[in-house]
Structures are given as C-alpha cells and as structure tokens.
Structure 1
Amino acid sequence: MTLLDLVASTPAQPFAFEILERTASTPRVQQIVQLSLAPAFLLGGIGAIMNVMMSRLIWVAERIERIQRRIEDEVAGSEVDELPWLGQRRRYSQWALVFSTASAVTISIVIALLFVSAYIEARIGTTIALAWVLTMTLLITGLGFFLLETRLAARGARRTGRRG
C-alpha cells in the first residue's frame, strides 16, 4: 500500500486529494520558496547578531562570577566597584537576547505562514504582514538593548560609576 493509497482511504478523502493536488504544482512551490527567501535570510542575520550578543553576555557573566569568587575568598579589590556596571550590562544583554529570540520565532512563523497560505483557501496576508511587523518591532527593540549595552561597555565601569 502506497502513501497515496493510505491518504485516499481516509475519511477526509476530498481534503487529502486537494492538498496533494496543490502541493504537486512545482511552480507554486517554487513561488513560495522564493517568497520565503527574504525572511529566511533575515532569520540567518538574527542568528548571527544573537551569537555576538551571547558572546558578550557570557563574558559579562564570567566576569561577575570571578569578582564574586574573589569577594568570597576575601581578596577582592577595587573590581567590586564594577559589579553594578556589569549587572546593568548583563540586564541589557539579556533583554537584547530575549527580544532577538522572539523576533527569530516570529520570522519563523512568517515563513511557515507563507507556505501554509499557498495551500489553503483562507486569505491570511494580513496575518503574515502583522507577523512581519511584529518581527521588525521585536528586532528593533532587541537591537536597542544591544546598543545600550555596547554604549555602557564603551563608557567603562569607572566612568559610569562616577556618574551614577
């Protein structure tokens, strides 16, 4: 028994045949793949940015742990003054990653919806557009937090400590 026979024997026979008929169209599949290329490249770009964000967050977290170990060993010096600065950097990095991850999830939903839209009768273009706008909003917010973290890092702990 082939997969086609199995699908044809199910109670939802008309729906199954309709899906098979729609997916059999190579030009239709090619068109959807072409439409999904821009969101797929954006997803790759988000992943690259998140890699940089994660590297910075790991460095900050390890620095905080080193200072805390030195405090526990009672050998900490002036580096204790860096803790508030490092804590703020960690918060900004975490929020940058949260929003960037959310944007990656929503752009993945956009890609899935593009494929689904080719095979259903309902028009979901507005939903796709809203998901795209949500993706951009989340990404811009994540990049904003990343900008805050990099500016804070560039100012340095001592300079920041004197101001705040």
Structure 2
Amino acid sequence: MLLDLLAATAQSPFAFEILERTASTPRVQQVVQLSLAPAFLLSGIGAIMNVIMSRMIWIAQRIEKIEDASEGQPTDRLTRELGWLTRRRRLAQAAIMFSTASAVIISAVIGLLFVSAYITAQIGTLIAFLWVLTMALLVSGLAFFLLETRLAALGHRDRERDRA
C-alpha cells in the first residue's frame, strides 16, 4: 500500500514536492519544537477554563436552588443574592467566551505552524498576528475571571452583613 502511494507520488510533481518537504526529519522536529509553546499555552487555557466552568456550575446550581426555594415569593435578601449571582454568571460567561476564543485561535496557530513548514507562501506575519490575538483574548478572559472572583469576594461580605 505504501509502495503504491510512493509510486503514484513519483508520477505527480506536486505530490512529489509535498512528500519531499515532509520527509525531512529535522524539519519536522523543528516544527514540533516551534509548536510546543502554543501547545503548552493551550493546555494552560484548558486548565483555566476548567476552573471557570466549575465556578459557573456552582453559580447556576445556586440560582436554581434560590428560584426553587422562593417559589415566586423572593425575599429582599434572595433578590439581592440573585442579582449578585446573575452578575457573576455574566462575568463568568464572558471569561469562558474569551478563553474559548483564545483556545481556538492558538489551535489555528499550531496548525499554521505545521502548514508553514511545507508551503512556499510566507505566513509568519499571520501567525504572529494570531499569537498576539490569542494573548489579547486570553488576557480579556482572565480580566473577566478576575472581576468575577472579585465580585464573589465582595458578595460574601454583603451576605455576612445581612446575617448580622
């Protein structure tokens, strides 16, 4: 099967050129090394998103508990808590959205790094732009996550004041 593929490739100049470019072990090693930093970044983004999603799940469950407990007659304290939780949910959703977008873009960067090693077109500027875009999206996601955790900390003080 592989021999048939190689024989067919030898007859096609374009396919032969692609095979020749991809056959270089040092070139493949170089591309893999270049893609390690974005791959580690992707792993880090995944870990961050896991934390944000855990918080988001807690917020959603808490909102459901309050809505079930109030059964149409929410107290002032529950109304304030629902407002606080809703603001937290919006911030967490924004953090997830921006983090997911950064994960998608960095995945494209990894793919383009491999493609760039085997094509003649120069796409380094595109890759650099996408890397900067990834960082901007990630920083935005982390900023929303910071705001959500700050709101969570401030909300805790408000609930302690209500109990006193």
> What is the TM-score with the length of structure 1 in the denominator?
0.89
The CA deviation at 1:72 is 1.7
The CA deviation at 1:6 is 3.9
1:95 matches 2:89: no
1:129 matches 2:128: yes
Quote the residue 1:144 is aligned against: 143
What's the C-alpha RMSD, in Å, of the aligned pairs?
A: 2.2
Distance 1:51 1:21 in 2: 41
The CA deviation at 1:73 is 7.0
Distance 2:135 2:114 in 1: 20
Distance 1:140 1:65 in 2: 31
Quote the residue 2:41 is aligned against: 42
SS in 2 for 1:156: helix
The CA deviation at 1:14 is 1.2
The CA deviation at 1:65 is 0.5
Cα deviation per residue 1:17-62 (whole Å; 9 max; x = unaligned)? 1111111110000000000000000000000000000000000010
Structure 2 residue ranges without an equivalent (≥5): none
Q: How many residues align?
A: 159
In the TM superposition, what are the counterparts of 1:144-163 in structure 2 within 5 Å?
Answer: 144-156=143-155, 159=158
Quote the residue 2:13 is aligned against: 14
Greater shift, 83-92 or 70-79, is seen at 70-79
> What is the TM-score with the length of structure 2 in the denominator?
0.89
Moved >2 Å (runs of 4+) = 2-10, 73-81, 157-160
